[in-house]
Amino acid sequence: MSPETAPHSGAEFADRTYIVTGGGSGIGRAIALALAEAGARPVVAGRTPERLDETVALIEKTGRSALAVPTDVRDPQAVDALVAAAVDRYGRLDGLVNNAAGNFVVPGIDLSPNGWRAVVDIVLNGSYYCTRAVARHLREEGRGGSILSVIASYAWHGHPGTVHSAAAKAGVLAMTRTLAVELAPLGIRLNCVAPGPTETDGAGAALWATPEARAGVLASVPAGRFAAPSEVADTALFLLSDRASYLTGECLTLDGGQWLGKQIYGRTTATA
Ligand code: HXC
């Protein structure tokens, strides 16, 4: 594929196969749909079969192919079976999107060990199990590939109320930077995308469940709006694609300026 290939031409990812965890909703579904539109066969994994089936149906309606594999990423054996199912169906695997996440807002001092474990297991352990399984397959096949993890800027600046998620996402960033080096000789690239507040049901329910909470989040974004899942998918596809072929161990933040936008001395952003 030449670097000049137009994005979303329907051929950029022709016949490639990518596993997308959490592919039954929100950002994961948007990435799966965009991958299919660009010619790939997404394999969507998650805990709720009905939601995965909905994603597959949306893709099949466009004349493309996708596979649903109900999977709990916290179970390493289930993750190995997911990789085997993807290869069995499509004959090859080219990469992975670690998107499955769990989150809720609670002061860290009040979080139970089980609550901590639930989020860290999904986000950090699950991303590692999936990355390991996909990388091992790529190594066996002697083929390079691309692995993308969806994190959040609080991986590096922290965030009161989501200590479990912030710590887990920070772990995923460190995992990405570490394995980007270890796996570079095999032609396997690892990167992250850090979306800001994104208009999805899952994040909305977990993080801004009331109109007041939503308004507060919105006020924190200099761009003045939430991200659309399709915007996150665009960045995700760039990082997965050959257009980013020399890019590894990086994180692209798309948050409308949110994490940089501390306005300590009053409102200092431009008005129209
Ligand atoms: C306090 C809570 C809680 C809450 C769960 N727990 N919700 N504690 N406040 N709101 C505690 C439970 O009491 C329990 O501990 C433990 O967490 C496990 O809960 P379960 O429901 O048994 O676990 P499970 O079914 O595995 O569910 C995992 C989950 C759930 C994380 C709790 O919310 C989930 O699966 N969510 C997936 C969807 C999701 O959250 N998406 C949003 C991602 S958005 P005890 O001690 O009682 O047994 C995102 C964006 C970040 O990550 C970036 C934004 C910028």
pLDDT number for residue 267: 75
Residue reference for tokens 């950090």: 124
The two structure tokens encoding residue 24: 């039954």
| Residue pointed to by tokens 């290869």 | 87
| Amino acid in position 32 | A
d(CA 236, CA 193): 7
What 3-state class would DSSP assign to 218? helix
Fold of 11-254: Rossmann fold (3.40.50)
Q: Give, for all 272 residues of the chain, the pLDDT tens digit.
A: 333 434 455 688 999 999 999 999 999 999 999 999 999 999 999 999 999 999 999 999 999 999 999 999 999 999 999 999 999 999 999 999 999 999 999 999 999 999 999 999 999 999 999 999 999 999 999 999 999 999 999 999 999 999 999 999 999 999 999 999 999 999 999 999 999 999 998 888 888 999 999 999 999 999 999 999 999 999 999 999 999 999 999 999 999 999 999 877 877 888 88
Q: Which residues contact residue 107 at a Cβ distance below 8 angstroms, ignoring those fewer than 6 apart?
A: 160, 161
Nearest alpha carbon to residue 31 among 165, 193, 253, 191: 193
Catalytic pick among 18, 128, 129, 154: 154
Q: Where do the structural domains in the chain lie, given as residue ranges?
A: 11-254
Specify the pLDDT at position 9.
53
How close is the Cα of 114 to the center of ligand 1, in Å? 10
Q: Percent helix, strand, coil in the chain (nearest 5)?
A: 50, 15, 40
Q: Which of 104, 122, 259 to mutate to test the pocket of ligand 1 (most atoms within 8 A of CB)?
A: 104
pLDDT at 2: 39
The whole-number pLDDT of residue 4 equals 40
Q: How far apart are CA 167 and CA 163, in angstroms?
A: 6
Q: Whose CA is nearest to atom 51 of ligand 1?
A: 152
Considering only CA atoms, which residue is closest to atom 10 of ligand 1? 104
Q: Are strands 188-195 and 251-254 parallel, antiparallel or unpaired?
A: parallel
Cβ–Cβ < 8 Å for 159, 259: no
* pTM for the structure as a whole: 0.94
Query: Tokens 């399984």 sit at which residue?
Result: 133
How far is the first Cα of the chain from the last one, in angstroms, to the nearest whole number? 43
Closest residue by Cα to residue 128 from 87, 182, 85: 182
